[in-house]
Amino acid sequence: MSRLTRIEIDDTGLPAPTPEIEQERRVAIFDLLEDNSFALPARDGRAVPEGPYHLFLSVRDKRLVFDVKAEDGSDLAEFHLSRGPFRQVVKDYTMICESYFDAVKKLPPARIEAIDMARRGIHNEGARVVQERLEGKAELDIDTARRLFTLICVLNLDG
């Protein structure tokens, strides 16, 4: 079972997310748990740890941490990623989301659609960064990477 069955975010010490971002977080977690593809590859000649997996995301020592555990809670892998490669795309995505949330309240549908297309493009770029940074550490499809990128954004990586 190459999939995630539990996802938790440790946002201790980080600013509280806005209601819109909190909603995005809930939707991303729900969507991830409904449909995802996540596996740990063989490394250093060791057998591949079998899933399903539990994922704990956090920021520790200014690094993004993916802590992967087995269903019984035993440690399988922990990846500490530099926040640098995520900073610009997270900043761009946060700004376009704010524009989108404002647009939904007051702009005509054509303008909202244009902003949403830009938002999806930046979201796809963020997913590519996630896949690139996890290469050799975890195997995931683009939809899983997109949803993980949303969760990474709520960790306020530009702060």
The whole-chain average pLDDT of the chain stands at: 89
Instruction: Please tell me whether residue 86 adopts helix, strand or coil conformation.
Output: helix
Question: pLDDT per residue over 86-128, tens digit each?
Answer: 999 999 998 998 898 889 899 999 999 999 999 999 999 999 9
CA–CA gap between residue 82 and residue 84 (Å, rounded): 5
Residue of 114, 119, 117, 84 lying closest to 98 (CA atoms): 119
Q: How far apart are CA 159 and CA 157, in angstroms?
A: 5
The average pLDDT across 135-159 equals 86
Tell me the mean pLDDT in the region 133-150.
Answer: 94
* Cα-based distances in Å from 16 to 5, 37, 54: 25, 29, 23
Identify the weakest region by mean pLDDT among 8-12, 21-25, 127-131.
21-25
pLDDT band at 56 (very low <50, low <70, confident <90, very high): very high
Between 61 and 24, whose confidence is greater? 61
Amino acid at position 86, single letter: F
CA angle 86, 90, 96 (to 5 degrees): 155
What confidence category does residue 157 fall into, taking pLDDT thresholds of 50, 70 and 90? low
The pLDDT, as a whole number, for residue 144 is: 96
* pLDDT computed for residue 149 by the predictor: 94
pLDDT in the model for residue 81:
95
* pLDDT bracket for residue 159 (50, 70, 90): very low
- Environment class of 148 (CB within 10 Å of its CB; exposed 0-12, middle 13-18, buried 19+): buried
pLDDT reading at 64 higher than 50: yes
How far is 149 from 125, CA to CA, in rounded Å? 9
Residue spans of the domains in the chain: they are 4-154
Residue 62: CA count within 13 A, CB half-sphere: 5
Q: Which of 54, 57, 78 is nearest to 155 (CA)?
A: 57
User: Helical H runs in the chain?
Assistant: 19-34, 84-106, 109-133, 142-154
pTM, entire model: 0.88
